[in-house]
Amino acid sequence: MPQLALSVAAIAAPPNIVVLVADDWGFGDIGALGSEISTPHIDSLARRGVTFSNFHVASTCSPTRAMLLTGADHHRVGVGNMPESMPAQHEGRPGYEGVLSDQAVTLATQLKDQGYHTYITGKWHLGKTPDKLPGRRGFERSFIQADSGSDNWENRTYMLLYDKAYWFEGEREATLPKDFYSSKFVVDKAIEYMSAQGDNKPFFTYIGFQANHIPIQAPKEFVDAYQGKYDAGWPALRQARHDSAVRLGLFPGQAEMATMQRGLDWNALDADERRLQSRRMEVYAGMAQAADFHIGRLISHLKKTGQFDNTVFVFLSDNGPDPADPLSIAASKYWVRANYRTDGPDLGAKGTFSANGPRWASAIAAPWSGFKYFASEGGVRVPLIIAGATGALTDKRSNAFTTVKDIMPTLLDLAGVAAHGATYQGAPAVTMDGRSMVPLLTGRADAIYRPDEPVGYELAGSASLHKGNYKLVKNIAPVGDGQWRLYDMAKDPGETQDLREELPALFTSMQADYAEYAKNNNVLPIPEGFDLHDAGLRYAVHHFFLPKLRAALPALLAGLALLVGGVWWLRRRRAQARPA
Q: What residues are annotated to the active site? A: 61, 125
CA–CA distance, 249 with 418 (Å, rounded to integer): 36
Q: What residues have CB less than 8 Å from 575, skipping those under 6 apart?
A: none
CA–CA distance, 516 with 523 (Å, rounded to integer): 10
CA–CA distance, 309 with 314 (Å, rounded to integer): 14
CA–CA distance, 348 with 282 (Å, rounded to integer): 9
Radius of gyration of the chain (CA): 25
Q: What residues have CB less than 8 Å from 193, skipping those under 6 apart?
A: 117, 119, 121, 141, 205
Q: Are 190 and 205 in contact (CB under 8 A)?
A: yes
Cα 410-411-412 angle, rounded to 5 deg = 95
H/E element holding 21? strand 16-22
How many C-beta neighbours within 10 Å does residue 51 have?
A: 24
H/E element holding 438? helix 438-441
Q: Are 41 and 299 in contact (CB under 8 A)?
A: yes
Q: Are 114 and 415 in contact (CB under 8 A)?
A: yes
Reading phi first (left if > 0) and then psi (alpha if -120 to 50, else beta), residue 321 is in beta
Report DSSP letters for 78-89, one per residue: T-SS-GGG--GG
Q: Are 305 and 11 in contact (CB under 8 A)?
A: no
Distance between the two ends of the chain, CA-based, in angstroms? Answer: 109
Bridging pattern class, strands 141-145 and 167-169: antiparallel
Q: What residues have CB less than 8 Å from 558, skipping those under 6 apart?
A: none
How many C-beta neighbours within 10 Å does residue 548 have?
A: 13
H/E element holding 287? helix 271-304
Bridging pattern class, strands 167-169 and 470-474: unpaired
Exposure string over 255-292, b if 16+ CB within 10 A, otherwise e: bebbebbeeeebeeeeeeebebbbbbbbbbbbbbbbbb
> Hey, which bits of 279-409 come out as E strands?
311-317, 384-388, 396-398, 402-403
Report DSSP letters for 415-427, one per residue: HT-PPP-SEETTE
